[in-house]
Structure 1
């Protein structure tokens, strides 16, 4: 499927999914830290898989990746990826203190994993609501590695690389603290077209 043929209707639907998911995620995160969270209107794009590493700043850029397997009416993977500065800023919001050490502690990784879980669930629930699809995600797996290694997980675990990726850039802030997170929905090869049909973009 040629990415250039994806019409305005699809992008409008995906932006609505991003808006609903961001709003739900902001509410959930605000409840956790007991502070007001502001979220910018998310940037939503459909990318070729080989473009993803460049969006993250290159295959060798260190990132924190939180990975989910997705099952139900469509199958694939979800990744929530933070650069190191954003990960530390998020931890500062959660713990009200800074950790300037080179390595993340087990508690840090657990906290980041839980936030990733909240964000991924918020977006999946909004996609499910707008498409009437039944969707489930696995418990999260988290890793600190180079972007290229993080992005290789679907290929290593399931033996596939999707040709299309739904990208939602989420920026949220509390006071002077700003976090930029990148959420990637990576459907299996057959599932992208299924998603378009369920969203009413292409005829069944």
Structure 2
């Protein structure tokens, strides 16, 4: 599959995968905090690795990244990324407290973030698995808080040798006045992109 010259039909399928996955993740988040969470229509794009940091405000922006490697019928990597303020809002939703988003993360906050990321990413992957009828296994999540450029260099180095594009799904979750900007970055191998399309009859 040639991601450099992807046609509109294939891109529409990728966008639909992004929309369904983000919707599933929103449902999981609602159940987790036992409260209604609204989701704005996700923005789905196929971007080169070098352009990804700009989507979160630049390479030096501090972000929380939760990374899972994928295997089974689909190989690759998935990352759920949040800017620092959104990460604080997400923790506040879970534990039911209100902060100004500028305090340091406690050990409990970090543990909660790791678990949230695991649940949200898992919900995303389970919808992809159900849609394609393929088995997808994910590793234990690895969480890091660092500059976006540093965190995003991991998939760029790992997958740069087989391609330089990632599927980015930018989602905004809202609960009351709190807004969380979340970024799903799905990086299947080129072979896996082909398998996804074949499973959907394309």
TM-score norm. by structure 1 comes to: 0.87
Give 1:199's aligned residue: 200
Task: Confirm or deny: 8 A CA contact 1:19 1:42 kept in the other structure.
Answer: yes
Q: What's the offset of the Cα at 1:200?
A: 3.3
Superposition pairs of residues 61-72 of structure 1, within 5 angstroms: 61-72=61-72
Q: In the TM superposition, what whole-angstrom CA distance separates every residue of 1:47-77 from its partner, at most 9, and x where no partner exists? A: 1222111212221111000010111112111
Give 1:58's aligned residue: 58
Residue ranges of structure 2 left out of the alignment (5+ in a row): none
Structure 2 CA distance for aligned equivalents of residues 81 and 37 of structure 1: 18
Give 2:120's aligned residue: 119
Q: In the TM superposition, what whole-angstrom CA distance separates every residue of 1:153-192 from its partner, at most 9, and x where no partner exists? A: 2356xx4324221111111111111101000011234433
Root mean square deviation, CA, Å: 2.0
Structure 1 CA distance for aligned equivalents of residues 6 and 155 of structure 2: 24
The verdict on how the C-alpha distance between 1:6 and 1:78 changes in structure 2, with shifts beyond 3 A counting, is same
Give 1:48's aligned residue: 48
Q: What's the offset of the Cα at 1:101?
A: 5.6
Runs (4+) off by over 6 Å = none
Q: What's the offset of the Cα at 1:93?
A: 1.0
Give 2:159's aligned residue: 160
Q: What secondary structure is seen at the aligned counterpart in 1 of 2:159?
A: coil
Aligned residues: 198
Structure 2 CA distance for aligned equivalents of residues 2 and 112 of structure 1: 32
Give 1:10's aligned residue: 10
Which of 121-130 and 10-19 deviates more?
10-19
The verdict on how the C-alpha distance between 1:54 and 1:155 changes in structure 2, with shifts beyond 3 A counting, is closer
TM-score norm. by structure 2 comes to: 0.88
The verdict on how the C-alpha distance between 1:190 and 1:21 changes in structure 2, with shifts beyond 3 A counting, is closer
**Is residue 172 of structure 2 the alignment partner of residue 176 of structure 1?**
no
Q: What secondary structure is seen at the aligned counterpart in 2 of 1:58?
A: coil
